[in-house]
Amino acid sequence: MAIQWFPGHMYSTQKAITERVKDIDVVIELLDARLPGSSANPMLAELTAGRPTLKVLNKQDLADPARTVLWLAHYNALPATRAIGLDASQTTPAQQLVKACHELSPNRGGMAKPMRVLICGIPNVGKSTLINTLTGGRKAKTGDEAGITKLEQRITLADDFYLWDTPGMLWPRIIVPKSGYNLAASGAVGRNAFDEEEVALELLNYLKTHYAAGVAARFKLVELDAETMASMKDESLLDTIGRKRGALLGKGKVNLQKAAEIVMHEFRAGNLGRVTLETPDEFALWLADGQRADAERAAKKAARKQKGKPKPETAPEQDA
Ligand code: G4P
């Protein structure tokens, strides 16, 4: 699925991060705990020049706790990286953040060498909510439109601890198709940039295998046991859900667009149970496939370009 969405302000965000990072000790990357791999910006390591990174798996209250444990272990095993889980119910997350940053950059601290931290994340990951909590609601705004945070701001967490906020940022090319679907399902991408029916079908395809009980309970699909649901076509499942919820067009036809919106709304609100759409192992496979396909595309493009080029002129042969 192609996501046609990369607003111009994302280029300025990239630029702002590149500028700011020169004076930064630790980067906090806010990830969506329901899709930690897909919500990690592949350009960030490059933009932040390999600074120590704290991965915060946010919205952990919506995510599958067993899978959050897997993801935390995965990130904690990476060099110069720490990972913690967080959610909006934590009213004093500052202590946890400050402690983890000091572990990553033990030489910073005190008035002479204050800790300087940059916080980044995709749109809608919960950055404004976290910053509201940290500042006691003094500055940041929240909202459900992807990318509402526009201006960089500095937050003082302690006399010797500064946090710079950045606007939500996606990257220009999403090469892992599954990540495109998962980002769209999570609400990270503006709704005009993707086909909701396609995204809902892909979401149901995953849910019916891994989280059938939650889907059956929410949509009152009492007649479907897990095995039957897993063997159903995604289209039939969407149709059944639409019918259950009365999303009809007339003459008994289901309004699939409306059904898709219902599925995504219920997923985003956590009404299908605590769901995580990817494990570290699954994501590693998707990433490898995406990178391979991308390399093949690049090679084909280069070959086409080469073919289209006029042959280099050869010098006329000289008589001996
Ligand atoms: P952003 O700045 O990164 O773009 O995200 P923002 O804080 O605006 O949060 C996006 C949505 O995610 C908000 O919901 C917010 O309440 C919700 N959210 C943030 N953190 C958490 C969390 O840890 N757990 C859960 N369950 N939700 C979280 P909204 O529906 O868009 O707005 P509202 O209904 O809260 O006003």
Q: pLDDT value at position 142? A: 45
How far does residue 189's CA lie from ligand 1's centre (Å)? 14
| Interaxial angle between packed helices 196-210 and 177-186, expressed in degrees from 0 to 180 and rounded to the nearest 10 | 100
pTM above 0.85, yes or no: yes
Residue 211 shares a structural domain with residue 148: no
Q: pLDDT value at position 14? A: 83
Residue 219 shares a structural domain with residue 141: no
How far does residue 9's CA lie from ligand 1's centre (Å)? 21
The ligand 1 atom nearest the CA atom of 148? 4
The ligand 1 atom nearest the CA atom of 147? 4
Q: Is 243 a member of any domain?
A: yes
Q: Is 297 a member of any domain?
A: no
Among protein residues, the one with the nearest Cα to ligand 1's atom 31 is: 144
Q: Is 180 a member of any domain?
A: no
Q: pLDDT value at position 141? A: 46
The CATH number for 13's domain is: 3.40.50.300
Among protein residues, the one with the nearest Cα to ligand 1's atom 17 is: 126
Residue 30 shares a structural domain with residue 147: yes
Instruction: Out of 253, 268, 283, pick the residue that ends a domain.
Output: 268
Q: Is 182 a member of any domain?
A: no
Q: Is 319 a member of any domain?
A: no
- List, in order, residues 6 or more apart from 100 with CB less than 8 Å away: 54, 82, 84
Work out how many domains the chain is built from and give that number.
2
Among protein residues, the one with the nearest Cα to ligand 1's atom 18 is: 126
Residue 91 shares a structural domain with residue 204: no
Residue 34 shares a structural domain with residue 146: yes
The ligand 1 atom nearest the CA atom of 141? 8
Expressed as residue numbers, the domain containing 215 is 195-268
**Across-strand partners of 155?**
163
Instruction: Out of 250, 268, 286, pick the residue that ends a domain.
Output: 268
Q: pLDDT value at position 150? A: 46
Residue 64 shares a structural domain with residue 158: yes
Identify whether the C-beta of residue 81 lies closer than 8 Å to the C-beta of residue 55.
yes
| C-alpha span between 318 and 59 (Å, rounded) | 75
| C-alpha span between 100 and 180 (Å, rounded) | 30
The ligand 1 atom nearest the CA atom of 140? 2
Residue 38 shares a structural domain with residue 91: yes
Give, for ligand 1, the residue of 124, 183, 274 to mutate: max count of ligand atoms closer than 8 Å to Cβ.
Answer: 124
Q: pLDDT value at position 319? A: 41
Give, for ligand 1, the residue of 29, 97, 142 to mutate: max count of ligand atoms closer than 8 Å to Cβ.
Answer: 142
Q: Is 310 a member of any domain?
A: no
How far does residue 27's CA lie from ligand 1's centre (Å)? 21
How far does residue 91's CA lie from ligand 1's centre (Å)? 14
Residue 57 shares a structural domain with residue 156: yes
Interval 261-311: pLDDT, tens:
999 999 999 999 999 999 999 999 999 999 999 999 999 999 998 888 766
Element holding 264 (H helix, E strand): helix 256-268
CA distances (Å), 247 to each of 41, 217, 253, in order? 36, 18, 9
Q: pLDDT value at position 239? A: 97
The CATH number for 205's domain is: 1.10.1580.10
Residue 35 shares a structural domain with residue 114: yes
Find the residues whose C-beta lies inside 6 A of ligand 1. Answer: 58-59, 61-62, 87-88, 121, 123-129, 142-144, 148-149, 168
Q: How many helices (H) and strands (E) does the chain have?
A: 12, 8
Residue 214 shares a structural domain with residue 264: yes
The segments of the chain whose pLDDT lies below 70 read: 1-8, 138-152, 310-320
Q: pLDDT value at position 279? A: 98
| C-alpha span between 262 and 80 (Å, rounded) | 41
Alpha carbons within 13 A on the beta-carbon side of 276: 28
The ligand 1 atom nearest the CA atom of 122? 3
Residue 161 shares a structural domain with residue 15: yes
Tokens of 5: 């969405």
Give, for ligand 1, the residue of 32, 129, 132, 153 to mutate: max count of ligand atoms closer than 8 Å to Cβ.
Answer: 129
Residue 205 shares a structural domain with residue 155: no
The ligand 1 atom nearest the CA atom of 131? 7
Q: Is 90 a member of any domain?
A: yes
Q: Is 73 a member of any domain?
A: yes
